[in-house]
Amino acid sequence: MKNTLRQRIGEQFSLITLLLWALRVGVFIVVLWGSINTLASGRYEASTWINLVIAGLAQGSIYALIALGYSLVYGILRFINFAHGEVFMAGAFTSVFVAEALERSGFFPKYPILTFAILLIVSMTSSTVVAVLLERIAYRPLRNAPRLVPLITAIGASFFLQYTFRGLYGSGFHTYPEFGQLWGVWNIAGMDIQIVQVFVFLASLLMMAGLYLIVERTKTGKAMRAVSEDKEIAALMGIDVNRVIVITFVIGGMLAGSAGVIRGMYQPQGIWFFMGFHPGLKAFTAAVLGGIGNIPGAMLGGLFLGVFETVGPTLILQGLGIPAANQLKDAIAIIMLVLVLIFRPQGILGEKLAEEKA
């Protein structure tokens, strides 16, 4: 009896499962220990945490807008468009010149809302054009190639776009003009809340709500879902699959373009040809975190990642005595990606990866 019991335990707890459990427990203890230490030290008040969460939501909503582009394309083509960060860059980088010109001419201070609308149109248009050209030139010829081929192409396209835009616009940093009205604070219940953060969050929510309505309610949205489930049968319904794929890239490009303007308003500095790499990586993390291919998952993943990387360093790392914890927010985001891939590869909302998707 004893032997068989031991054997059975041996079968269930192989070395790898043991290691994974140890990792799980270890992560849990570290997170708990750090958080308790930080909270016990009493250095921060409740309002600080609330401010951090709001800042995280603002940051996260930008990630979410970009993450949706990854997820939409993955849902339809089962492929990660690694050049999507550059689609975002194209919008922000192009619109910054318009913004600078409008500021110089004095138009911007007079009509800030109209300026915002113009920037949004410029940014969304340039991002969309880049996304559609990518699909047409780089990805469509490889539609039936093995999966690794378009993936590598996407990475190549990413570099190509970065240096094309460097060639077009130069390698210097540009700065979005400040939307002065947004940079005040609201005092709510004794807390200072930055208006810009609330604005960023609400603007992104509006975009996402729009996307959700398109996908759920319109004929085009339904066709997109049909194509993402079964291209052959979708074609049998008379759906033009190529057209749906282009529309998907258009929507992803529009969301990324809007994220570009919102990023420029929230963090006006550092607009240059390389600005897409980091948010692209974060948004990809967010998309995987939420469940790649899943639209609400990308929204949730983005917001969660934003909050986690804003609150996490202060809450967890500072309690562990790590100096300058705030500079480790990228590390914490990537560690989370690794942990998600180990423990829940399908993401928060993802369904179990069916064979056709895996």
- Which residues form the interface with other proteins (CB under 8 A)? 219, 222-223, 225-226, 229-230, 232-240
Q: How far is the CB of 148 from other proteins (least distance, A)?
A: 23
Q: Is the four-CA dihedral 137, 139, 145, 151 of positive or negative sign? A: positive
Contact in structure between 66 and 72 (CB atoms under 8 Å): no
Q: Which two tokens stand for residue 278?
A: 């980091």
Q: What is the chain's alpha carbon radius of gyration, rounded to the nearest angstrom? A: 22
- 100 Cβ contact list (under 8 Å, min separation 6): 174, 177
Q: How far is the CB of 167 from other proteins (least distance, A)?
A: 39
In the complex with other proteins, the residue whose CB is nearer, 207 or 234, is: 234
CA distances from 282 to 141, 165, 175, 241, 296 (A): 28, 21, 22, 30, 17
Q: How far is the CB of 324 from other proteins (least distance, A)?
A: 46
In DSSP notation, 71-82 reads HHHHHHHSS--T
In the complex with other proteins, the residue whose CB is nearer, 166 or 225, is: 225
Please state, in angstroms and rounded to a whole number, the distance separating the CA atoms of residues 18 and 27.
Answer: 14
In the complex with other proteins, the residue whose CB is nearer, 234 or 305, is: 234
Please state, in angstroms and rounded to a whole number, the distance separating the CA atoms of residues 100 and 98.
Answer: 5
In the complex with other proteins, the residue whose CB is nearer, 16 or 354, is: 354
Beta bridge partners of 194: 185
Q: How far is the CB of 9 from other proteins (least distance, A)?
A: 37
In the complex with other proteins, the residue whose CB is nearer, 19 or 233, is: 233
In the complex with other proteins, the residue whose CB is nearer, 143 or 225, is: 225
In the complex with other proteins, the residue whose CB is nearer, 151 or 235, is: 235
Contact in structure between 99 and 261 (CB atoms under 8 Å): no
- 101 Cβ contact list (under 8 Å, min separation 6): none
Pick left, alpha or beta for residue 347 (phi over 0 → left; psi -120 to 50 → alpha; otherwise beta): left
